[in-house]
Amino acid sequence: MLPAEFIREVEKLLRQGLSVEQAKKQASIKYRLSRVPKNSEILPHLSEDLQEKLFRKPTRTLSGVAPVAVMVRPQGSCRWRCRYCPISSIAPKSYTGYEPSALRARSVNYDPYEQVKARLLHYKIQHHRAQKLDIIIMGGTFLEMDPAYKQWFVKRIYDAVNEWDAPSLPEALTYNERAERRVVGLTIETRPDVYNIPEMLSYGATKVELGVQHPDDKIYELVDRGHTVEDVIKATRELKNAGYKILYHIMLGLPGSNPKKDLEMIKSLFEDERFRPDMLKIYPTLVVPGAPLYEDYKKGLYTPYSDEEAAQIIAQAFEYIPHYVRIQRINRDIPGHKIEAGVKKSNIREIAQRLAQEKGITPQEIRANEAARKGLLSFNPEETEMFEMSYKASGGEEYFLSVEKEDKSVLYGFLRLRIPKEWSVEELQDRAIIREIHVYGPEAPIGQKGLIQHRGIGKRLIKRAEEIAQEKGLDMAVISGVGVREYYRKLGYHKGHFYMLKDF
């Protein structure tokens, strides 16, 4: 227990302008503490204004939600053996066990409940509200794992968020609709040949990350991928027709590829309407001990890209990535000392952006233009305009509606609306589908106005989407995160079996 006078002294010094480190060291000397306390020990005792000012790391929630990664157990996580994939007894397939998310999972023996609780505590220490959670289930091929394990795993995620042990998974989801802390999105990583739409809907999943890597059947054979380009096309189409947001994992520098092929691949993802994902994660291929590719590297049969080569390719790729796409991540978070060869710099995105600027390329993708990331933490409706883009994708018609500054330099929010030609789920028949709606800016409390969130942007976007649906003679459906269902009820939607529905 820290002495009250120590806390008062720290507060006094902080208000005088000293840094946290300076204040706690001086106060520790003055009151002869045996050691300098950790920030996490001091934080709960400080006044709220100092907690907010000094300990909050706003980049965690600048996109309006708090991400929470939950990793599956190593045992039985994936039956495939792709040549580039790390294999370890201490982590699920595709992870080394030393990534930050893997270390957190290992510390609680991959228990989903404890992983979520630990992450929420972390947010609390950093003074984030973390009321709106974006969950991602990571590692291996989750949908191929034991059915009982999957049900238990997802239920325990919701139990941790709800702070209530529900008797069943459906009851956990229903409780979360009005809980104090809500799951506004749930992502599942999987392969293009492994997906089960009814199963994912039963978990409350709203986004699917597909390991596409490099859509070329010859490259797939070289890396023992075990599926085809046609599997990618089919999965993309069927998942979009079920309302899912689609993120592709793509890999640069795989065996059989080269810089020219990689750039052509990225270009084709958006020129070929059979693909056109909503989001990307771009991973330069790494040589990691434990992966079959490591042996090829040792024999001189494979050479990965250097930091400079990868950055140059990514910089040029920015030119081909359209405004409706978000680059979620560039490069893996495997620690450098665990990488035998390949990209080791952790700031490869920043390097690529700088190179792009030198080439005269301005990234149009979403993340580069989000309001809060551009330092704009307020919203003036008079300075914004709604833009409307339509494009063909996966056999349907997509509308990307956005609220931006008039010169399109700053993005405040957007909506993805799909007009399918066929539907993957009977409940969606003759309905347009809102696949995503997102308002950027610091996370606002549920039900309260924020700096950008909860100021009418979402309602403007939904109103226009409903007008488009009616023009097409269709009713409306939304693939809603469990914790967002109440919001749609207030807008006149009702819950179907899995979706929020509105009839015109």
pTM here? 0.87
CA distance 284 to 342: 8
pLDDT at residue number 59: 52
**Statement to judge: residues 219 and 182 lie in one domain:** no
CA distance 137 to 189: 7
pLDDT at residue number 348: 92
Q: How far is C-alpha 225 from the chain's CA centre?
A: 24
Q: Rounded to 5 degrees, what angle do the CA atoms 32, 38, 43 make?
A: 105
pLDDT at residue number 48: 60
Structure tokens given for 281:
């994660």
**Statement to judge: residues 218 and 251 lie in one domain:** yes
**Statement to judge: residues 182 and 126 lie in one domain:** yes
Return the CATH number at 260.
3.30.750
Query: For the chain, how big is the Rg over CA atoms in Å?
Result: 24
pLDDT at residue number 333: 87
- Closest to 419 measured CA to CA, from 462, 448, 442, 390: 390
DSSP-derived secondary structure letter, 383: G
Structure tokens given for 472:
């097409």
pLDDT at residue number 213: 98
CA distance 371 to 380: 12
**Statement to judge: residues 348 and 407 lie in one domain:** no
CA distance 231 to 215: 10
**Statement to judge: residues 357 and 232 lie in one domain:** yes
- Closest to 439 measured CA to CA, from 414, 418, 404, 466: 414
**Statement to judge: residues 250 and 189 lie in one domain:** no
Helices 100-107 and 112-125 sit at what angle, rounded to 10 degrees? 120
**Statement to judge: residues 401 and 388 lie in one domain:** yes
Q: What residue spans of 283-406 are helical by DSSP H?
A: 292-298, 307-317, 348-359
User: What does pLDDT average to in each consecutive run of 10 residues of the chain (504 residues)?
Assistant: 86 83 90 86 73 56 81 92 91 90 94 96 83 95 96 98 98 97 97 98 98 98 97 98 98 98 98 99 96 96 97 98 97 90 91 94 92 67 90 98 91 96 95 95 60 73 98 98 96 97 98
Domains identified in the chain, total number: 4
Q: Are 88 and 74 in contact (CB under 8 A)?
A: yes
**Statement to judge: residues 77 and 219 lie in one domain:** no
CA distance 500 to 435: 11
Spatial neighbors of 464 by CB under 8 A, at least 6 apart, are 386, 388, 401, 415
Q: Which domain does 101 fall in, by range? A: 64-205
Q: What would the 3-class secondary structure string for 125-189 be?
A: HCCCCCCEEEEEEECCCHHHCCHHHHHHHHHHHHHHHHCCCCCCHHHHHHHHCCCCCEEEEEEEE
pLDDT at residue number 374: 67
**Statement to judge: residues 365 and 376 lie in one domain:** no
pLDDT at residue number 370: 86
pLDDT at residue number 487: 95
- Domain stop point among 19, 35, 55: 55
pLDDT at residue number 204: 98
**Statement to judge: residues 29 and 79 lie in one domain:** no
Q: Rounded to 5 degrees, what angle do the CA atoms 8, 21, 119 make?
A: 90
CA distances from 185 to 86, 201, 436 (A): 28, 12, 10
Q: Does 330 map to a domain?
A: no
**Statement to judge: residues 349 and 376 lie in one domain:** no
- Domain stop point among 164, 180, 205: 205
CA distance 398 to 404: 19
Structure tokens given for 482:
């469990």
**Statement to judge: residues 130 and 42 lie in one domain:** no
Q: Does 329 map to a domain?
A: no
Q: Does 328 map to a domain?
A: no
- 3-state DSSP assignment of residue 337: helix
Return the CATH number at 409.
3.40.630.30
pLDDT at residue number 21: 83
